[in-house]
Structure 1
């Protein structure tokens, strides 16, 4: 199976942290930003999309069609951690070969199971790890690090600006009834709300709420609001009232 690790980026030519984590990453940017990205990232392949592909969600649709099988790492991802370590052992994985192997192994398992959406846990602490259930077919993926094996159901709703990871999780659960999540590893990103570029220009309470209401419109009573995150860390702070969960009746 051919799988490419692709970093979608926008106006962060000097802050593509994710390229340091894996072997042979591709940075995907708008044509008009290509020269700057090549100047600041000479060690990476730069693939461009037309400038009229605006926003992360249209970019994901374009990348999926262009690359087929791919694993996407947000440009602000700066660490990969194992949460299945023993007490006192270091959790951060620093070897690029090891991180790349972890990604490719999960993609191969997804292919064997005929699963088209796969990713890693949002849990951040070893105390949250269940050693009897290190893989899941029912949990949601986390948006900063996930992959697709392209098929007819690989589609993000471009009416949304935010929460596209939640959308694709719900859509794949509805269409295919399964998502593959590796609960042993976590990819950590810089604070979403202070890092300029990317989606920072769109991310606010009104847009979060609009996106949730649109998701609820499509998936109905399977979508529920909740008060806090379940990963041990409230990364959204003032947006905590707009967290949601998904539970399909099957």
Structure 2
């Protein structure tokens, strides 16, 4: 009888940890919930290879859309490090959003600084890039965002991840063969093959793509913030594992 009860408790725990329940649980801001239809977060988390208890880095997390979902997903025994450039935090609305998010999620640590200049958390189980990998090729004096040495950054990422650790990269499909820095500046996209080459060069093994965010009708030469495309771009979802 005790064994049966134990199995029942385990089953409830597994259901409670399911990505759909993580996304659907109350407490998230309405503005974030409104983005779910286009971003498909339950499916994204289900395919992420990220497990409860994991230490995860969320790069350039905006106002914390995925930071909060990852924090719920990894649970109280896990931790999420959100990396935010300085200029993001100079916006009062964003700063308040982070203050509120941290009150709701005790397992979130906010790290302010540009990716190439900021110390990377160690002993990571996962790194998560939601529409931000292309920003490693971006730079802007206006937005106080310095140039990143992409290979040096990825070498640091490889060192920070535990063996078996995963890097999840979701980004907008760009024009194949276009210079990555020019493309990041002009449209905030990236050639998907560049991402594969970068990560392979750093020592990662490609662990498959997930087609759930691919979308017909997108023009890879258009700016992702174009009103006709925003939230409707064709996006790739790649997984890479540290051997």
Common fold, TM-score beyond 0.5? no
Higher helix share: 2
Higher relative contact order (CA 8 A, sep 6+): 1
TM-score (normalised: structure 1): 0.28
TM-score w.r.t. the length of structure 2 is 0.29
